[in-house]
Amino acid sequence: MARHHGGQQSEEYQIRPKQKEKFKPGKAKDIIREVLQKKFKDKEWNEIPNQTKLIADEIKYNLKELGLQRYKFMVNVIIGDQRGQGVRVGTRCFWDYDTDYCASDYYINDSIFCIVTAYGVYLY
């Protein structure tokens, strides 16, 4: 947005995103769920080698397609063999509760589990 001062133009710097420009965890979760359903539907553990990077890249690409200016996206994907074992995952971040968000979802079938967390961090 530009303002005019005595015939000169100056740029106004927006520090925080407007409400409609914020990362929406619900939309991110929908993207994650759609990608996981597409990648794992009717798949067995031995059919999914080296999928973590591909899944993370696809989710990140879809998040960028939302057009949120000045957001940096990070996607964490964990895939495991479903044998009834437990798994614990933890994450800690330092962020601004007004602008930064995350969304998580998971997929489980008889042979695979996958946990995805996507982070949207606003760059000041």
Which tens digits make up the pLDDT trace of 54-78?
Answer: 999 999 999 999 999 999 999 999 9
Residue 57 CA to residue 46 CA, distance in Å, equals: 21
Nearest to 57 by CA among 120, 121, 118: 118
- High-pLDDT (> 70) share of the chain, %: 91
Residue 73 in contact with residue 89, Cβ under 8 Å? no
pTM, to two decimals: 0.81
pLDDT at residue 100, as a whole number: 96
Residue 66 in contact with residue 21, Cβ under 8 Å? no
Residue 96 CA to residue 86 CA, distance in Å, equals: 32
Residue 56 CA to residue 89 CA, distance in Å, equals: 17
What is the helix (H) or strand (E) element at residue 12, kind and residue range? none
What's the first-to-final CA gap in the chain, in angstroms?
17
User: Which residue ranges form the domains of the chain, and what is each CATH number?
Assistant: 22-86+93-122 (3.30.1140.40)
What pLDDT band is residue 94 in, cutting at 50, 70 and 90?
A: confident
